[in-house]
């Protein structure tokens, strides 16, 4: 996603903690409803499509998504379900719609804004830890795909202050903070997500500060943290903007910058990816800094820059 596109989305940001009726979520673009899991049923109107977990309809100018997910199934694997069943086949498209439907499913699954997100975060972190113990769960799992990325990041981040750029929901920030030897600043362009992370971190009494800002222009002094992480961020921005993010990370870090990207044949549009990486591109990025660096492959590519 380009910087202007991300700024546009931030200007029309979703409020993940807005009031809603039990079992319902609605904004000016989408409506999401939790329904009874009746085989073959899909509400009172004819659906556009019915999948294993979702039912898509059109209600005037709104997209309506019905689902029958149970609270115990509410975790970040929802991203994979939505992508596989509704976005990859082309029934829905675009990162804005994706984020709104995602939010709607979470909010309609458990009554109460804080309770719904607490369940989502708690389930997700529990399943990340389960994947660390058993890295080969049955079936498709977005969490299983990302769990080793989080573990590798934890191995590369030493004790001290950390800035996690492009933190999104902030799972990594929470995992870092709960270790007990990291204080964490999580930054993202989306204000609603940072508000959400701040609420969860406060409820869990974890040392996570949040900051809504552009990753290429972080309002912190030079060398203000020990480590800066940019984990699966650069695939969302164009090359020149990505280079600016790396320069900003180097300005802010005292010791180390850790960059991770997925290796894809095509950018995954449902997740807002706009470019692909290979090992050679990471090497070029490292050489361009003039600093000591390593590039490795592990569930994607890793660039680690160590400052003198």
Start and end residues for every CATH 3.40.50.150 domain found in the chain: 145-306
Domain at 145-306: CATH code: 3.40.50.150
- The CA distance from 173 to 186, in Å, is 6
What does the pLDDT look like over 147-182, one tens digit per residue? 999 999 999 999 999 999 999 999 999 999 999 999
User: pLDDT class for 139, splitting at 50, 70, 90?
Assistant: low
Token pair in block for residue 153: 């990041």
What are the b/e assignments for 59-84, b being 16+ CB within 10 Å? eeeebbbbbbbeeeebbbbbbbbbbb
The 8-class DSSP code of residue 16 comes to: T
What does the pLDDT look like over 214-237, one tens digit per residue? 999 999 999 999 999 999 999 999
Residue 290's region, left for phi above 0, alpha for psi from -120 to 50, else beta, is: left
What does the pLDDT look like over 22-37, one tens digit per residue? 999 999 899 999 998 7
């Amino acid at each position: 996603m380009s910087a202007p596109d991300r700024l546009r989305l931030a200007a029309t940001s979703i409020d993940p903690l807005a009031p809603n009726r039990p079992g319902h979520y609605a904004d000016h673009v989408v409506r999401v409803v939790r329904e009874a899991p009746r085989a073959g049923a899909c509400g009172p109107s004819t659906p556009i499509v019915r999948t294993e977990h979702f039912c898509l309809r059109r209600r005037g100018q709104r997209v309506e998504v019905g689902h029958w997910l149970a609270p115990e199934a509410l975790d970040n694997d929802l991203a994979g379900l939505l992508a596989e069943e509704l976005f990859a086949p082309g029934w829905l498209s675009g990162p804005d719609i994706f984020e709104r439907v995602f939010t709607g499913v979470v909010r309609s699954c458990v009554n109460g804004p804080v309770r719904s997100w607490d369940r989502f975060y708690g389930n997700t972190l529990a399943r990340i830890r389960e994947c660390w113990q058993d890295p080969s769960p049955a079936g498709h799992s977005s969490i299983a795909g990302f769990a080793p990325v989080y573990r590798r990041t934890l191995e590369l981040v030493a004790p001290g202050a950390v800035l996690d750029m492009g933190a999104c929901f902030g799972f990594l920030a929470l995992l870092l903070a709960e270790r007990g030897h990291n204080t964490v600043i999580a930054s993202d362009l989306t204000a609603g997500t940072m508000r959400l992370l701040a609420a969860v971190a406060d409820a869990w009494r974890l040392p996570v500060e949040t900051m809504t800002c552009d990753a290429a222009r972080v309002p912190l002094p030079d060398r203000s943290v020990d480590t800066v992480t940019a984990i699966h961020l650069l695939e969302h921005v164009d090359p020149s903007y990505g280079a600016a993010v790396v320069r900003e990370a180097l300005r802010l870090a005292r010791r180390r910058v850790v960059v991770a990207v997925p290796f894809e044949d095509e950018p995954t549009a449902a997740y807002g990816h706009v470019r692909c990486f290979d090992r050679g591109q990471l090497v070029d990025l490292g050489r361009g800094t003039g600093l000591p660096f390593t590039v490795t492959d592990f569930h994607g590519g890793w660039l680690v820059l160590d400052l003198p």
